[in-house]
């Protein structure tokens, strides 16, 4: 058995049977190994697309996403998404081929110190230069991606190592799984439960690892058993996150706040007393740096801090014995999370043009909220409209992924593909502006080739909307420039050229019917909606 064969079998034994990849010289032995094993390789059109697919796969399932790319420019193309994946706490293992270890220092084809480049962007970065314990390294990488605060891991594997004969391990391989070994200790759990019992209006604030989109069962267990709201802060817009309504008012009123693996960063207004005046703040995090930072930020108000695995800690809280409390506070929080800024009637009742608000009204009427589609929202101004206009926000949040705290844009098309592979049979809807659509348009061919039921919706306002609004806000309306796109680009025609279905609408009269038709389509399709650029609503 070659090392390449052992790697493929180790990935499968860890629970992942789909690899997102773009081929290249140094990794062809892994393709050959997959031929004889229970492993599907999804061939992307760009290495960054493959990584974003693994991201969508991982964040919409309880499995580790795996991306596979070659060395040199294959690796450098692949690392672009890693900053966003790290910020989104996405459990992805990126495996890249590498130049032969026996040729180190002799300038072989595509030699590059990959791990030095990837190290700041991932949880762990290793170059595997020996066939010894290769299966253990793969298992550990899959485990590390999903342990503690989730995040990406990078493995660079030289071509000659892949083709070596695998060495039989001296000891049985360790079986890595999600366990409770890093759970919050009883001595740390007690202060947390005491704080919750002492609070009349407690709130648990989390990061991406334990958001409702990824751990709905744990969030619901705490909500239903303890009547305590759980709020995930995962948007670069922080307090202005359009999916969190009046989050400022909630945090200002809460008298007890548990930060469960959530740093007091820019998203939380750096933990200022104006944002979080609660006298009872507890921080439980996977990383000691988070607890140290919180102790500095909340000096005087932080009553306890501890280090523990966030998923296991959520399980412990769900099972903990807490005092019985009425649903009053929980219902009040839910109501304010669901509130949205008022939208002028002109943006809803326009007769000669389509506005983002009209798109979301039509979308709401076209979907079944008892069985909603999976949704991915890219970054940008149109996607902020989408997030503020999604119906039944508490429920729909469990079915929705966003671009995450990094603020990066352009990943929605491949992320939707990964979501579709992770959730066979589920309809996926991906929203994006015309700017972000351009990053990975060719991956629509990947979706069509695989026959995936994805509807890509492009809100086409012929501009880089978020940047235009920044120019207006900071420099004045008369200084908007160099952020224009135009109506000549027909994204629906591009989709058709890639073999998918294309839909086009530029008038309100056809919006509802065309959108309903596109959403009922079970094939891969793209809807190009010409809209008027409008700043996203906010309180």
Place of tokens 């939707």: 416
Nearest to 51 by CA among 26, 83, 24, 25: 83
Question: Which phi and psi (to 5°) does residue 159 adopt?
Answer: -60, -40
- The chain-wide mean pLDDT, for the chain, equals 93
Q: Does position 499 have pLDDT exceeding 90, yes or no?
A: yes
Residue 523 CA to residue 518 CA, distance in Å, equals 9
* pLDDT confidence of residue 76: 97
Q: Span 204-208, mean pLDDT? A: 95
Q: Span 246-251, mean pLDDT? A: 96
Q: Span 184-194, mean pLDDT? A: 93
Q: Span 376-381, mean pLDDT? A: 94
Confidence of residue 180 (pLDDT cuts 50, 70, 90): low
Burial of 324 (0-12, 13-18, 19+ CB in 10 A): exposed
| DSSP 3-state of 243 | coil
Q: Give alpha helix (H) positions in 244-398.
A: 247-253, 288-297, 310-319, 328-338, 356-366, 381-389, 393-396
> How far from 115 is each of 68, 88, 139, 524, 534, CA to CA, in Å?
15, 21, 19, 37, 43
* pLDDT confidence of residue 313: 93
* pLDDT confidence of residue 131: 86
Confidence of residue 183 (pLDDT cuts 50, 70, 90): confident
Confidence of residue 208 (pLDDT cuts 50, 70, 90): very high
Q: What percentage of the chain carries pLDDT values higher than 70?
A: 97
Question: Which phi and psi (to 5°) does residue 254 adopt?
Answer: -60, 135
* pLDDT confidence of residue 349: 85
Confidence of residue 350 (pLDDT cuts 50, 70, 90): confident
Residue 398 CA to residue 65 CA, distance in Å, equals 19
* pLDDT confidence of residue 179: 53
Residue 407 zone, left/alpha/beta (φ > 0; ψ -120 to 50; rest): left
* pLDDT confidence of residue 394: 86
Terminal CA-CA length for the chain: 61
What is the DSSP track for 157-200?
EEHHHHTSBPPPPSSPPP-----STTSPPHHHHHHHHHHHHH-S
| DSSP 3-state of 400 | strand
Q: Does position 220 have pLDDT exceeding 60, yes or no?
A: yes
Q: Span 10-34, mean pLDDT? A: 95
* pLDDT confidence of residue 175: 56
Q: Give alpha helix (H) positions in 381-530.
A: 381-389, 393-396, 412-422, 434-437, 443-449, 465-475, 491-497, 508-520
Confidence of residue 176 (pLDDT cuts 50, 70, 90): low
Task: Provide long-range contacts, Cβ within 8 A and 24+ apart, for 163-167.
Answer: 163/2, 163/3, 163/4, 163/29, 164/2, 164/3, 164/131, 165/1, 165/2, 165/3, 165/131, 166/1, 166/2, 166/3, 166/5, 166/6, 166/131, 166/134, 166/135, 167/131, 167/132, 167/133, 167/134
* pLDDT confidence of residue 538: 86
State the CB neighbour count (10 A cutoff) for residue 349: 11
Confidence of residue 132 (pLDDT cuts 50, 70, 90): confident
Q: Does position 23 have pLDDT exceeding 70, yes or no?
A: yes
Q: Does position 26 have pLDDT exceeding 80, yes or no?
A: yes
Nearest to 340 by CA among 290, 393, 288: 393
* pLDDT confidence of residue 12: 94
Q: Give alpha helix (H) positions in 303-456.
A: 310-319, 328-338, 356-366, 381-389, 393-396, 412-422, 434-437, 443-449
Structure tokens at 151: 């995040």
Q: Does position 28 have pLDDT exceeding 80, yes or no?
A: yes
**What domains does the chain contain, in order, with CATH numbers?**
3-162 (3.40.50.970), 186-338 (3.40.50.1220), 345-530 (3.40.50.970)
Per-residue pLDDT reduced to its tens digit, 398-457: 899 999 999 999 999 999 999 999 999 999 999 999 999 999 999 999 999 999 999 999
Q: Span 54-73, mean pLDDT? A: 96
Confidence of residue 168 (pLDDT cuts 50, 70, 90): low
Residue 422 CA to residue 464 CA, distance in Å, equals 31
* pLDDT confidence of residue 170: 53
Q: Does position 178 have pLDDT exceeding 60, yes or no?
A: no
Q: What percentage of the chain carries pLDDT values higher than 90?
A: 85
Q: Does position 171 have pLDDT exceeding 70, yes or no?
A: no
Confidence of residue 165 (pLDDT cuts 50, 70, 90): confident
- 73-87, 106-120, 155-169: which range is least confident on average? 155-169
* pLDDT confidence of residue 347: 86
């Amino acid at each position: 058995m070659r090392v390449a064969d052992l790697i493929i079998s180790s990935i499968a034994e860890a629970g992942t049977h789909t690899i997102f990849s773009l081929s290249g010289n140094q990794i062809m032995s892994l393709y050959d190994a997959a031929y004889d094993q229970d492993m599907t390789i999804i061939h992307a059109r760009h290495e960054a697309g493959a990584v974003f697919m693994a991201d969508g796969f991982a964040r919409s399932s309880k499995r580790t996403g795996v991306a596979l790319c070659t060395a040199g420019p294959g690796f450098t193309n692949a690392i672009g998404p890693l900053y966003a994946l790290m910020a989104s706490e996405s459990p992805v293992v990126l495996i890249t081929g590498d130049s032969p270890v026996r040729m180190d220092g002799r300038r072989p084809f595509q030699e590059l110190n990959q791990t030095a480049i990837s190290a700041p962007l991932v949880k762990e970065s290793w170059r595997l230069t020996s066939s010894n314990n290769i299966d253990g390294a793969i298992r550990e990488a899959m485990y590390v991606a999903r342990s503690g605060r989730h995040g990406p891991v990078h493995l660079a594997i030289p071509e000659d190592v892949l083709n070596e004969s695998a060495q039989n391990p001296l000891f049985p391989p360790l079986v890595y799984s999600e366990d409770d070994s890093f759970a919050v200790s009883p001595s740390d759990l007690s202060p947390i439960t005491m704080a919750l019992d002492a609070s009349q209006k407690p709130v648990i604030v989390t990061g991406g690892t334990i958001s409702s989109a990824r751990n709905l069962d744990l969030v619901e267990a705490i909500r239903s058993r303890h009547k305590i709201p759980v709020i995930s802060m995962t948007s670069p817009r922080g307090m202005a996150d359009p999916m969190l309504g009046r989050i400022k008012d909630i945090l200002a009123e809460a008298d007890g706040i548990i930060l469960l693996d959530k740093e007091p960063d820019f998203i939380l207004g750096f933990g200022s007393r104006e944002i979080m005046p609660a006298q009872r703040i507890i921080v439980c995090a996977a990383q000691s740096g988070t607890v140290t930072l919180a102790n500095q930020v909340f000096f005087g108000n932080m009553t306890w801090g501890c280090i523990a695995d966030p998923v296991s800690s959520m399980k412990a809280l769900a099972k903990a014995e807490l005092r019985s409390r009425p649903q009053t506070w929980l219902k009040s929080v839910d109501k304010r999370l669901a509130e949205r800024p008022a939208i002028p009637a002109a943006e809803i009742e326009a007769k000669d043009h389509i506005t983002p608000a009209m798109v979301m009204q039509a979308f709401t009427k076209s979907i079944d909220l008892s069985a909603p589609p999976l949704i991915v929202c890219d970054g940008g101004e149109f996607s902020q409209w989408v997030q503020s206009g999604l119906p039944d926000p508490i429920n729909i949040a469990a079915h929705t992924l966003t671009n995450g705290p990094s603020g990066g844009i352009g990943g929605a098309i491949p992320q939707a593909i990964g979501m579709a592979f992770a959730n066979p049979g589920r309809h996926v809807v991906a929203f994006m502006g015309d700017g972000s659509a351009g990053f990975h348009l060719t991956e629509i061919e990947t979706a069509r080739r695989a026959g995936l039921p994805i509807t890509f919706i492009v809100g086409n306002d012929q501009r880089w909307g978020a940047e235009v609004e920044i120019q207006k806000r900071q420099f004045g309306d008369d200084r908007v420039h160099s952020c224009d796109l135009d109506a000549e680009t027909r994204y629906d025609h591009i989709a058709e050229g890639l073999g998918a279905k294309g839909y086009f609408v530029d008038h309100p009269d056809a919006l509802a019917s065309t959108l309903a038709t596109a959403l009922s389509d079970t094939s891969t399709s793209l809807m190009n909606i010409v809209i008027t650029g409008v700043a996203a609503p906010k309180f």
